[in-house]
Amino acid sequence: MPPPHHRHGHPPHHPHPPHHPPGPGARPIPASRLLGFVDEAELSRSLASLLPDEGDRRFVVRCLVGEGPVHHRGANYVLLSLLQRLLARQPGLVADASHGLPVPMRLPPHLAAAAEPDADEGHYPLRLPTRALDALAGGDAERRAAMVDCLTDGPPQHALANVLMVAMLDALLGAPAAGPGA
């Protein structure tokens, strides 16, 4: 049975949070409990095929959900978990982040300029697949480059989640379309 509706401004008399925010600006879930749904171990397990090295995976999971603003951490967990569920519906379909473009760390410019573009160090331990991006850009190299820039720039909470999501979407979009009889 659905829970009773509570009008804005009237808090419920039970300890459970309401299904709708009670009013503009209100935060029904305290920040200390906001990430209660984040299961780092589960996320790590689900990323094992994308990041086979345990140390690399621990590092990336820390970047995704271990540090940074809580709403980004929570959102990363939700989106990656949902995409993982979608992938799991197609047995045998595995996302791959071992090929594609390197994902650079945002080092101070004078140090970034000295880093070798294809070296492991100075880059995150995964790559951005480009098949889906190529298709989306319609073969326009500048458009694709701009997409890559948008996806990989900024703090690692964003960039790494973007890369992993693109890797999963790349796999999903590259899979044969399911027909009516499939």
Partner 1 sequence: MTAFAAQRQAFRLAAAELGMASAAWVTVEACADAAGDAAVAELRDALGRDWPVLDAVCAGWLQGARRPRPAPGALQAALAGTQRLVIVGHEALWIDALVAALPAPVAGGAPALRLGLVCEGAPLADWDRVLANQAGRVERLGLADFQAWAGPRSSLLTFVYGQGQGTVFVLPPWLRVSGSDVRLQFRQLLGWSVLGLPLQVYPRWLVSAAADTLTELVEDVA
Residues near partner 1 (CB under 8 A) are 53, 55-56, 58-59, 62-63, 67-68, 105-108, 111, 114-115, 120-125, 155-157
How far is residue 181 from each of residues 62, 159, 177, 178, measured CA to CA in Å? Answer: 42, 38, 11, 8
Residue 168: strand, helix, or coil = helix
Q: What minimum distance in Å lies between the beta carbon of 148 and partner 1?
A: 20
* Shorter beta-carbon distance to partner 1: residue 72 or 143: 72
* Shorter beta-carbon distance to partner 1: residue 51 or 95: 51
Secondary structure element (H or E) that encloses residue 166, with its range: helix 156-174
| Start-end of H helices in 89-140 | 109-112, 131-137
Q: What minimum distance in Å lies between the beta carbon of 166 and partner 1?
A: 19
* Shorter beta-carbon distance to partner 1: residue 42 or 67: 67
Cα–chain center distance at 73? 9
CA atoms within 13 A on the CB side of 53: 9
* Shorter beta-carbon distance to partner 1: residue 77 or 87: 77
* Shorter beta-carbon distance to partner 1: residue 122 or 174: 122
Q: What minimum distance in Å lies between the beta carbon of 162 and partner 1?
A: 14
Measured CA to CA, the distance from residue 127 to residue 55 in angstroms comes to 16
Measured CA to CA, the distance from residue 173 to residue 93 in angstroms comes to 11
Q: What minimum distance in Å lies between the beta carbon of 114 and partner 1?
A: 7
Contact 134, 100 (CB under 8 A): no
Q: What minimum distance in Å lies between the beta carbon of 122 and partner 1?
A: 5
